[in-house]
Amino acid sequence: MKILVLNAGSSSQKSCLYDISNNTSNTIVRGLPAGAPEPLWEAQIDWVPQENAARIKVETHAGKEHVETVPSPSREKTLSYLLGLLYQGPTRVISALDEIDVVGHRVVHGGQTYRSSVVITPEVKATIDRLSVLAPNHNPANLEGIELMERLLGDEVPQVAVFDTAFHSDISEVAATYPGPYGWVGEGIRRYGFHGISHEYCTQRAAQILGRSVDKLRLIICHLGNGASLAAVEHGRSIDTTMGFTPLDGLMMGTRSGAVDPGILIYLMRQGMPAQEIDRLLNKESGLLGISGVSHDLREIGEAIAQGNEKAKLAQEMYLHRLKACFGSMLMSLGEVDTVVFTAGVGEHAAGIRAAACEGMAFLGVELDLEENAKAPVDRDIATAESEVRVLVIHTQEDWAIAQECWRYLYPASPSSEA
């Protein structure tokens, strides 16, 4: 079985093709993330809107690699071109697209409608479209990929929507309800949370690394990438998270502001700024980029700091301040924590950010092994043996988690219930 996964983000598009053999099917049905096989084919598009271009990188299991920058008149045309590299050119791994058996899509916002993954139907597409107002940088791109695959593969090939909000759908009414008019509840204005696919994967993987039952763990998971969120996880379930009604809430991010005083927005509107402009400012021109004026990338901000750039220094210090403040919020929701997880681009690769964050956790008995932390280990515990709280770095594998969901929905009678 060949499972194609499309994972569309706000600034990039990841795609993977998994070839599921008898050796890996047991891993899927038992839900063992450690058994994630290497994709047969893996690709990423990074959009460069200011140049109307896209940077494409493709790698195959056989070790072939292809990198190019192409004109990008539209996301759809660029994605269609990328998928052509599956069956033609140096990265060809199949003879034709009709070898694909099922397609899985990361869909950012499922609202209150979808609390688990679903096979995509016209009704599901309509709901994803309706919810685009809550995730304008994501849901339209997710829907675009779904409709493109329908045109390329026809209606015979099933597609599965895996929702980023689903993992957080069980958080309590107390945590989910905003302190506005109670009428907001009936309008669906509530905390939904995002990055749920990653948070759920890391929950299961943490239990496996530690050799403990997921039901016995109290975790704070730090998904730190261009988009960033924390989740408080108790007994395998999300009980609180920093993102809210939209992915704009919570932490300071690469280009997103995170939480700001809503009075600022009222002030800007009274000054005549239209909603579309405010949206652009908060989503595209804030966060690390907005403060530093240099980049949304902490690596480039670090280089600017080394050259004496004070705004870059301020941006990094603000990032850490907001991270520690939000960590405290998750800790209060849990009451206690036994494991902290760092994941995603920054969480997995920025040893300095991990070290600085853990300094703020010293009162919990966190002791970081600085040598292990500096080695940038993957899927390992980087705390000292004496530390009262375990600190894990986990390589989040959202694409594999989506592939697992595709298998489970195609074979609902499989032993997945044993996982």
159 and 37 co-located in one domain: yes
Active site residue 164: yes
Q: Which of 107, 139, 169 is the last residue of a domain?
A: 169
Question: What does the alpha-carbon distance between residue 14 and residue 141 come to, in Å, rounded to a whole number?
Answer: 12
Q: How far, in Å, are 59, 222, 310 from residue 371 at the CA level?
A: 31, 21, 29
Q: Does residue 235 sit within a domain?
A: yes
Radius of gyration of the chain, Cα coordinates, nearest whole angstrom: 21
**Confidence at residue 49, expressed as pLDDT on a 0 to 100 scale:** 74
Split at pLDDT 50, 70, 90, the class of 22 is low
pLDDT at 24 over 80: no
Q: How far is CA 379 from the centre of its chain?
A: 17
Side chain identity, residue 196: G
Q: Does residue 175 sit within a domain?
A: no
Q: Does residue 188 sit within a domain?
A: no
Q: How many other CB atoms are found less than 10 A from the CB of residue 319?
A: 27
CATH of the domain at 49: 3.30.420.40
What's the chain's average pLDDT? 91
- Facing residues of 339 across strands? 219, 390
Annotated catalytic residue within 46, 101, 129, 164: 164
Q: Which of 136, 169, 202 is the last residue of a domain?
A: 169
Q: Does residue 111 sit within a domain?
A: yes
254 and 376 co-located in one domain: yes
164 and 232 co-located in one domain: no
104 and 155 co-located in one domain: yes
pLDDT at 274 over 80: yes
Q: How many other CB atoms are found less than 10 A from the CB of residue 97?
A: 17
At 42-101, the pLDDT tens digits run 999 988 877 888 999 999 998 999 999 999 888 888 888 988 999 998 899 999 998 999
Q: Does residue 194 sit within a domain?
A: no
**Sheet with 237-241: strands ordered across:** 237-241, 228-234, 218-224, 339-343, 390-393, 380-381
Q: Which of 111, 143, 169 is the last residue of a domain?
A: 169
**Confidence at residue 399, expressed as pLDDT on a 0 to 100 scale:** 92
Split at pLDDT 50, 70, 90, the class of 409 is confident
Domain hosting residue 51, numbered range? 2-169
Q: How far is CA 248 from the centre of its chain?
A: 13
Are 233 and 366 a contacting pair, CB within 8 Å? no
Higher pLDDT, 137 or 210: 210
Q: Does residue 310 sit within a domain?
A: yes
Helix (H, G, I), strand (E, B) or coil at 10: coil
Q: Does residue 196 sit within a domain?
A: no
**Confidence at residue 133, expressed as pLDDT on a 0 to 100 scale:** 86
Q: Does residue 251 sit within a domain?
A: yes
Say how many domains are in the chain. Answer: 2
